[in-house]
């Protein structure tokens, strides 16, 4: 592999590590006045911080899963990691959000199951 190809692969890996700037920008704009402008370096700084935070939490959750010989990280693992790493103020709201999310997924699955069974049925 040439030096240029190796450099390109490093760049791709670094780029894949970060959330897209457009997503970061959209989230930042929600909490600012509509007339506010966000400098490019501000977006990039937040992008790097958010990506590092996600990596930090995910790494802790991943370690827990490896110790428990599991391959999949779930929402409970993320919440556990946040508590373990001192982000306790987020634990209860996230538990509530996760519970509501799981309930909505169940409702969607039940709705799909009901709709599949009704195809071809006469009224």
* Cα–Cα distance, 39 to 61 (Å, whole number): 33
- pLDDT > 70: percent of the chain: 81
Identify whether the C-beta of residue 50 lies closer than 8 Å to the C-beta of residue 24.
Answer: yes
**Would residue 120 count as lying in a domain?**
no
Q: Please tell me the predicted confidence (pLDDT) of residue 103.
A: 95
**Would residue 97 count as lying in a domain?**
yes
Domain hosting 89: range is 3-114
What does the mean pLDDT of the chain come to? 87
pLDDT tens for each residue of 23-80: 999 999 999 999 999 999 999 999 999 999 999 999 999 999 999 999 999 999 999 9
**Would residue 121 count as lying in a domain?**
no
- The alpha carbon of residue 17 and the mean position of all alpha carbons in its chain are separated, in whole angstroms, by 13
**Would residue 101 count as lying in a domain?**
yes
Confidence band, pLDDT 50/70/90 cuts, at residue 17? confident
**Would residue 16 count as lying in a domain?**
yes
Record the pTM: 0.71
Q: Is the pLDDT reported for residue 123 higher than 50?
A: no
* Cα–Cα distance, 117 to 43 (Å, whole number): 48
**Would residue 103 count as lying in a domain?**
yes
* Cα–Cα distance, 28 to 37 (Å, whole number): 10
Q: Please tell me the predicted confidence (pLDDT) of residue 109.
A: 84
Number of domains in the chain: 1
Query: Which residues, at least 6 apart from 24, have a Cβ–Cβ distance to it below 8 Å?
Result: 43, 46, 47, 50
**Would residue 119 count as lying in a domain?**
no
CATH code (residue 101)? 1.10.20.10
């Amino acid at each position: 592999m040439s030096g240029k190809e190796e450099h390109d692969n490093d760049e791709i890996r670094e780029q894949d590590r970060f959330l897209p700037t457009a997503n970061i920008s959209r989230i930042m704009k929600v909490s600012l006045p509509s007339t506010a402008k966000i400098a490019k370096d501000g977006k990039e700084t937040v992008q790097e911080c958010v990506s590092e935070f996600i990596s930090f939490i995910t790494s802790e959750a991943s370690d827990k899963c490896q110790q428990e010989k599991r391959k999949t990280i779930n929402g409970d693992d993320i919440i556990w990691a946040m508590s373990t790493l001192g982000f306790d103020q987020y634990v209860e709201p996230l538990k509530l959000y996760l519970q509501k999310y799981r309930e909505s997924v169940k409702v969607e699955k039940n709705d799909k199951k009901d709709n599949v069974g009704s195809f071809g049925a006469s009224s």
